[in-house]
Homo-oligomer: A and B are copies of this chain.
Amino acid sequence: MSELPAALEEAVSFDDKGLVCAVAQQHDSGEVLMVAWMNRDALAETLASGQVCYWSRSRGKLWRKGESSGQTQKLIELSVDCDGDTLLLRVDQKGVACHTGRRSCFYRAVAEDGSLKEVLPVVTDPSKLYGA
């Protein structure tokens, strides 16, 4: 188990479930790829390994991004917001961030008429990400 650097231990406010919100952004294009959660161990591992690791709330365990899909996130820079309850991860995303096979999870935008339209294409067949 990795230790959290003292400066982060002080700066980051984990919530009552021990989690902090994390926004992943492609470092060069600026695309916001996804938002997920980290606990202390996930954050420490991410900093130690340079590969992004979240906490899966649904599975209740560490989620090494890309461990089953191969769509890993290499950490470029990690920053903390003013009140310490959100992290910004500048990453280099391999392939696609979204389990639907789209580059970003934010692929549905509100149209003028209030409906949702898809604004990002599927670039990788999800069945190829997770096998048969």
Contact = CB atoms under 8 A, between A and B. Distances in A.
Contacts of A119: 79
Given A21-B21, A25-B32, A32-B88, A105 B78 contact: no
A6 interface: yes
A114 B6 contact: yes
B32 A23 contact: yes
Interface in A15-29: 21, 23, 25, 29
A78 B77 CA distance: 26
Interface residues of A, number: 38
A129 interface: no
The A contact surface, by secondary structure, is mixed
A35 interface: yes
Contact of A106 (B6, B35, B80, B108): B80
Q: Which of A77, A88, A109 has the most chain B CB atoms closer than 10 A to its own CB?
A: A88
A116 B8 contact: yes
B5 A21 contact: no
A5 to B, nearest CB: 3
A62 interface: no
Given A35-B21, A82-B98, A77 B30 contact: no
Interface in A75-117: 77-83, 86, 88, 98-100, 102, 105-110, 114-116
